[in-house]
Structure 1
Amino acid sequence: MTAVTAHAAALGRALARYDHLTGIGLAGRDRFVLTHGEPHPANTMRVDGRFVLIDWESALIAPPERDLWNFAGGDPEMCELYSLRWALVEAAGYLSLFRRDHRDGPNEGASWRYLTDTLAKLETTTARI
């Protein structure tokens, strides 16, 4: 794929940085807590006047930044780890779609835009690495 080839260096930098940050995270296992994995408004529910997290199917014991990275809270390197993880998982999912037979409908068009946006974001965020 031309899009992947054009961003191969950024993908390589992102994967290397991810591995490095994972090592830092694993060294701090004493900080691990129960994390939800996808805290966003669609995974909340109001019960007895307060909000609670629902849909715990992706729960793990991990650094708290697994839930905080998108809210600018916690250790900056661990927030970077989970932000980078999100981008890499997104890219992998879209690449999987386009590596197999697919049609060229509106969903595929949107997926292609998301893929190219994600690759461009990785290019920008890894330029400083």
Structure 2
Amino acid sequence: MKECGINFQVASNVYFGPLNGMIVGNNVYIAPNNVIIALDIEIGNNVIIGPNCVISGGNHLFDGTSFRFLKSLSSKVIINDGCWIAGNCTIVSGSTLPKFSILAGGAVLTKKFELEMGIYGGVPAKFIKNHIKV
């Protein structure tokens, strides 16, 4: 792992692929049954990742007949400070979740978003609305 902050908590049955490209901030919690392919993933401070999520910092190349035997490409995944990723989400290579945002349950994040304190959801994820501090 490139960097790891304090109070990094990982529940049971979490699979990590290569960790050499992963940066984790302080107070990060990863719930059970996640799959994280950490080719190039940055997780900020105070992040919650719900159960059954897939986060992949890599993507396969195609040689015209197969995806299987070629080297993977990586494109950074950024989960900024204070985010909550609900259960059953997928985050693909090249995606960004802005600070203090929520990724709704079952959403698929496929691109970079910039608006902080947003709720993003759907397949593919889109901006739904801003949330307010309670």
Higher RCO, 1 vs 2 (CA within 8 Å, ≥6 residues apart): 1
Same fold (TM over 0.5): no
Pair member with larger Rg: 1
Task: Considering fraction of residues, name the structure with more helix.
Answer: 1
Q: TM-score, normalised by structure 1?
A: 0.26
